[in-house]
């Protein structure tokens, strides 16, 4: 009678006591890998500690991080102190946006190259294979995980290469300030200084003189120049009023038919604009409140004004309220009257902000 013994799988090394203070951090990392069914196939240093190659790569990575800090600091300086108000000609304001893009781009590229060089050239090479499983953690597992994280921090070489840590902090702190700058920029430098974004070419001139509404060629406009149901694009009758210097000022002057004008006056009265019209004439900004395109396609049968860019539609007889498309705010209305010579003038500037901006955020 014979017996047959099944072959047994070879047993691995006995598990180590990871709480043993005599074990090194790497011993615990290796034990944790074995317990987690990880086989370390390949592990080696890329550069010898203290070698010229290590020092050269350390200086290179530190240079990238310091360049990040310098470029981010330059971004902040440009953002806060560089002149950004638009001026005619080719002043310093023309460089504001390009300099912001250049400095931020250099900062992001430099930090990217620094991290890539650090990871690709200075960190040890490791190839590991792991069988995935799902088991609850034990105190020993938590010990292993903590020691593994600390070991990874050691392997990054910050303690051995303090220049890397200092340069990383010096580079990332300005980057953090760059991220915060747009959020606190209004506290640093008032973006609406001198009410720049809230005035147009129709603001009364010195001495309170009211600004005339003029054609593109500068000629003033009388009520008889527009037939019932017609409309005309008008501009402020000031120097450069038809130029891009006052690109926020183009206005649509509309001669409403009697019944439509009555409906429009009632709508104006409901929002406190009872004196904004003159007779059957109303004037609304042509700058679409969605994206700033010219809303210039007027359909007199329905009294709708269409913006051709994104198809927003505004109902003129209801305070130019948006009734279709992405625009969410009505077109501002310009208060108008006729002066002693019979020409249209603006009674005041627009009392609502023209065009889109931060107030359009949902």
The mean of the pLDDT values for the chain is: 83
187 pLDDT band, cuts 50/70/90, is low
Tell whether the model's pLDDT for residue 198 goes beyond 90.
no
Of residues 210, 54, 175, 64, the one with CA closest to residue 121? 54
Query: Could you tell me the two tokens for 91?
Result: 């002043």
Tens digit of each residue's pLDDT (9 = 90 or more) over 209-252: 899 999 999 999 999 999 999 999 999 999 988 888 888 899 99
Tell me what pLDDT residue 16 has.
80
Q: Contact at 8 Å (CB) between 191 and 185? A: yes
Tell me what pLDDT residue 197 has.
61
Cα 69 to Cα 72, 113, 119, 130, 185: the distances in Å are 5, 14, 20, 39, 19
Cα 104 to Cα 4, 72, 275: the distances in Å are 75, 6, 50
Tell whether the model's pLDDT for residue 11 goes beyond 50.
no
Mean pLDDT of 72-99: 83
Tens digit of each residue's pLDDT (9 = 90 or more) over 109-130: 999 999 999 888 888 888 878 7
Query: Which of 179-183, 251-255, 336-340, 351-355 has the least mean pLDDT?
Result: 179-183
Tell me what pLDDT residue 4 has.
44
Tens digit of each residue's pLDDT (9 = 90 or more) over 312-345: 999 999 999 999 999 988 999 999 999 999 999 9
């Amino acid at each position: 009678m014979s017996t047959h013994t099944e072959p047994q799988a070879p047993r691995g090394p006995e598990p180590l006591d990871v709480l043993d203070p005599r074990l090194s951090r790497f011993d615990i990392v290796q034990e944790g890998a074995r317990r987690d069914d990880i086989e370390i196939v390949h592990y080696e240093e890329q550069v010898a500690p203290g070698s010229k190659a290590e020092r050269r790569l350390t200086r290179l990575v530190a240079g990238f991080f310091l360049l990040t800090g310098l470029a981010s600091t330059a971004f902040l300086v440009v953002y806060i102190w560089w002149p950004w108000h638009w001026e005619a000609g080719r002043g310093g304001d023309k460089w504001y946006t390009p300099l912001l893009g250049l400095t931020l781009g250099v900062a992001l590229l430099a930090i990217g190259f620094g991290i890539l060089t650090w990871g690709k050239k200075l960190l040890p090479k490791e190839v590991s294979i792991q069988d995935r499983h799902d088991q609850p953690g034990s105190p020993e597992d938590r010990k292993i995980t903590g020691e593994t994280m600390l070991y990874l921090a050691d392997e990054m070489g910050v303690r051995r290469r303090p220049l890397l840590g200092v340069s990383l902090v010096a580079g990332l702190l300005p980057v953090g300030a760059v991220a915060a700058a747009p959020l606190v920029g209004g506290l640093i430098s008032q973006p609406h200084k001198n009410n720049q974004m809230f005035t147009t070419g129709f603001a009364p001139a010195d001495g309170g003189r009211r600004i005339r509404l003029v054609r593109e060629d500068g000629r003033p406009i009388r009520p008889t120049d527009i037939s019932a149901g017609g409309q005309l694009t008008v501009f402020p009758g000031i120097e450069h009023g038809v130029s891009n210097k006052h690109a926020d000022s183009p206005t649509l002057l509309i001669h409403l038919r009697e019944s439509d004008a009555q409906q429009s006056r009632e709508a104006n009265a409901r929002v406190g604009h009872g004196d904004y019209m003159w007779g059957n004439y109303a004037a609304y900004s042509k700058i679409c409140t969605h994206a700033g395109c010219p809303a210039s396609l007027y359909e007199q049968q329905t009294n709708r004004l269409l913006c051709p860019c994104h198809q927003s539609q505004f109902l003129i007889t209801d305070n130019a309220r948006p009734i279709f498309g992405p625009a969410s705010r009505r077109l501002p209305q310009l208060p108008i009257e006729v002066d002693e010579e019979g020409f249209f003038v603006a009674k005041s500037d627009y009392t609502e902000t023209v065009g889109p901006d931060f107030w359009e955020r949902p």
